[in-house]
Amino acid sequence: MKSNDSPKTYRVKSFGCQMNVYDGERMGELLEAKGITPAAEGEDADLVVLNTCHIREKATEKVYSDIGRIEKSGREAGKKPMIAVAGCVAQAEGEEIIKRSPGVGMVVGPQAYHRLGDMVDRAAKGERSTDTDMPENAKFGALPARRRVSPTAFLTVQEGCDKFCTYCVVPYTRGAEISRPYNDLVEEAKRLVDAGAREITLLGQNVNAWNGEDGKGRSVGLEGLIHALAALPDLKRIRYTTSHPNDMTDALIAAHGEVDKLMPYLHLPVQSGSDRVLKAMNRSHTAESYLKLLDRFREVRPDIALSGDFIVGFPGETDAEFEETLQIVDAVGYASAFSFKYSPRPGTPAASMENQVPMEVMDGRLQRLQAHLSRDQYAFNQASVGKTCDVLIERKGRRPGQMLGKSPWLQSVFFDSKLQIGDMVRAELVQAGPSSLQGRVLEMATA
The annotated binding site is made up of 17, 53, 88, 161, 165, 168
DSSP-derived pairing of the beta strands 237-241 and 219-221: unpaired
Structural contact between residues 131 and 176, judged by C-beta atoms closer than 8 angstroms: no
Structural contact between residues 265 and 410, judged by C-beta atoms closer than 8 angstroms: yes
Residue 170 CB, nearest approach to ligand SF4 (Å): 4
Give residue number: closest CB to ligand 5AD: 309
Of the pair 244, 267, the CB lying nearest ligand SF4 is at: 244
Structural contact between residues 222 and 252, judged by C-beta atoms closer than 8 angstroms: yes
Identify which range of 89-97, 178-186, 223-231, 338-346 contacts ligand 5AD by CB under 6 A.
338-346
Sheet strands (E) in 109-259: 129-131, 152-156, 158-159, 178-179, 199-203, 211-213, 219-221, 237-241
Which does residue 340 bind out of ligand SF4, ligand 5AD, none, counting CB within 5 to 8 angstroms by kind? ligand 5AD
Identify which range of 195-203, 223-231, 337-345, 396-404 contacts ligand 5AD by CB under 6 A.
337-345
What is the total count of residues that contact ligand 5AD (CB under 6 A)? 12
Identify which range of 188-196, 284-292, 335-343, 390-398 contacts ligand 5AD by CB under 6 A.
335-343
Phi, psi of 397 (to 5 degrees): -85, -175
Residue 130 CB, nearest approach to ligand 5AD (Å): 25
Site string for ligand 5AD, 92-131 (x = CB under 6 A): ----------------------------------------
The neighbouring-strand residues paired with 440 are 428
Q: How far apart are the first and last CA of the chain?
A: 50
Binding site for ligand SF4 (CB under 6 A): 161, 163-165, 168, 170-171, 205-206, 244
Residues with Cβ within 8 Å of residue 145, at least 6 apart in sequence: 191
Which does residue 161 bind out of ligand SF4, ligand 5AD, none, counting CB within 5 to 8 angstroms by kind? ligand SF4
Q: Does 343 bind ligand 5AD (CB under 6 A)?
A: yes
Residue 162 CB, nearest approach to ligand SF4 (Å): 8
Q: Give the containing element (helix H, strand E) for 372.
A: helix 359-384
262 DSSP assignment: B
Of the pair 9, 205, the CB lying nearest ligand 5AD is at: 205
Q: Does 345 bind ligand 5AD (CB under 6 A)?
A: yes
Identify which range of 137-145, 252-260, 340-348, 383-391 contacts ligand 5AD by CB under 6 A.
340-348
Structural contact between residues 40 and 111, judged by C-beta atoms closer than 8 angstroms: no
Structural contact between residues 393 and 418, judged by C-beta atoms closer than 8 angstroms: no
State which of residues 110, 269, 315, 439 lies at the interface with ligand 5AD (CB under 6 A): 269
Of the pair 160, 224, the CB lying nearest ligand 5AD is at: 160
Structural contact between residues 61 and 27, judged by C-beta atoms closer than 8 angstroms: no
How many CA within 13 A on the CB side of residue 301?
Answer: 23
State which of residues 342, 380, 409, 414 lies at the interface with ligand 5AD (CB under 6 A): 342
Which does residue 311 bind out of ligand SF4, ligand 5AD, none, counting CB within 5 to 8 angstroms by kind? ligand 5AD
Of the pair 12, 165, the CB lying nearest ligand SF4 is at: 165
**CA dist 186 to 133, 158, 214, 272, Å?**
27, 14, 10, 36
Which does residue 164 bind out of ligand SF4, ligand 5AD, none, counting CB within 5 to 8 angstroms by kind? ligand SF4
In the chain, DSSP finds a helix count (H) and a strand count (E) of 14, 21
Residue 437 CB, nearest approach to ligand 5AD (Å): 26
Binding site residue list for [4Fe-4S] cluster: 17, 53, 88, 161, 165, 168
- Which of the residues 293 through 332 are near ligand 5AD (CB under 6 A)? 309, 311
Residue 245 CB, nearest approach to ligand 5AD (Å): 12
Q: Does 55 bind ligand 5AD (CB under 6 A)?
A: yes
Q: Is 391 exposed, middle or buried (0-12, 13-18, 19+ CB in 10 A)?
A: buried
Which does residue 337 bind out of ligand SF4, ligand 5AD, none, counting CB within 5 to 8 angstroms by kind? none
271: helix, strand or coil: strand
CB burial of 197-208 (b: ≥16 within 10 Å; e: otherwise) equals bbbbbbbbbbbb
The neighbouring-strand residues paired with 406 are 392, 412
Q: Please report, as ranges, the residues that interact with ligand 5AD according to CB under 6 A.
A: 55-56, 167-168, 269, 271, 309, 311, 340, 342-343, 345
